[in-house]
């Protein structure tokens, strides 16, 4: 452990934020992060999103979901379905999310409700 790493660790333990530590040491907050997390980008930590086996298993497990999303995205792109500016449940004006309320089978790919994030979360909790 270098002197800078020790100093950064001491400052972090004292409750300072990374930008504050950076000002004291004369480095950027990204450099402070690199000091406090040696090996972060050197493969010593497993990055879930770049672990090809995990991603592949997830795709195989959720293939119906993925296909339904792609079909809906394409339908919106070509204008077959128009994404509304307000929630179908609470009429709140927002960027809506599509909820596949009938499931992900092929015959229901385009059967969706456009909901705000709060109503969409509630639908999944119910």
Please check whether residue 109 is in contact with residue 68, taking contact to mean a CB–CB distance below 8 angstroms: yes
* Residue 43 domain-assigned (yes or no): no
Residues 112 and 87 grouped into a single domain:
yes
For the chain, first and last CA: distance in Å?
Answer: 51
Report the pLDDT value the prediction gives residue 29, as an integer from 0 to 100: 86
In the chain, the number of structural domains is 2
Are 73 and 103 within one domain? Answer: yes
| Any domain includes 117 | yes
Residue 41 placed within a domain = no
What would the two tokens of residue 16 be? 């300072």
User: H or E segment at 90?
Assistant: none
Residue 89's domain spans which residues?
Answer: 49-125
Q: What b/e readout covers 97-124, taking b as 16+ CB neighbours within 10 angstroms?
A: bbbbeeebeeeebbebbbbbeebbeeee
10 Å CB burial of residue 22 (0-12, 13-18, 19+) is: buried
What is the band of 109 on the pLDDT scale with cuts at 50, 70, 90? very high
Continuous H helices in the chain: 3-13, 18-25, 29-36, 52-61, 63-78, 117-125
Q: Are residues 72 and 119 in the same domain?
A: yes
**Does one domain contain both 58 and 111?**
yes
CA pair distance 72, 79, nearest whole angstrom: 10
Co-location of 10 and 66 in the same domain: no
Instruction: Give domain status of residue 116, yes or no.
Output: yes
On the question of pLDDT at 51 being above 70, the answer is no
24 is a domain residue: yes
3-state secondary structure of 35: helix
Q: Does the residue 44 lie in any domain?
A: no
56 with 20, same domain: the answer is no
Q: Do 13 and 66 have their domain in common?
A: no
* Ranges 26-30, 53-57, 78-82, 85-89: which has the least confidence: 53-57
**98 and 54 together in one domain:** yes
Query: Global pTM?
Result: 0.55
């Amino acid at each position: 452990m270098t002197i800078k790493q020790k100093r950064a660790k001491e400052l972090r333990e004292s409750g300072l934020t990374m930008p504050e530590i950076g000002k004291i040491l004369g480095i950027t907050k990204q450099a402070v992060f690199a000091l406090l997390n040696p090996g972060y980008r050197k493969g010593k930590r497993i990055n879930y999103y770049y672990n090809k086996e995990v991603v592949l298993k997830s795709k195989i497990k959720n293939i119906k979901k993925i296909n339904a999303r792609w079909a809906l995205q394409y339908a919106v792109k070509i204008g077959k379905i128009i994404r509304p500016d307000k929630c179908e449940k609470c009429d709140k004006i927002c960027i809506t999310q599509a909820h596949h309320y009938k499931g992900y089978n092929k015959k229901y790919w385009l059967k969706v409700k456009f909901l705000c994030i709060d109503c969409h979360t509630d639908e999944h909790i119910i």
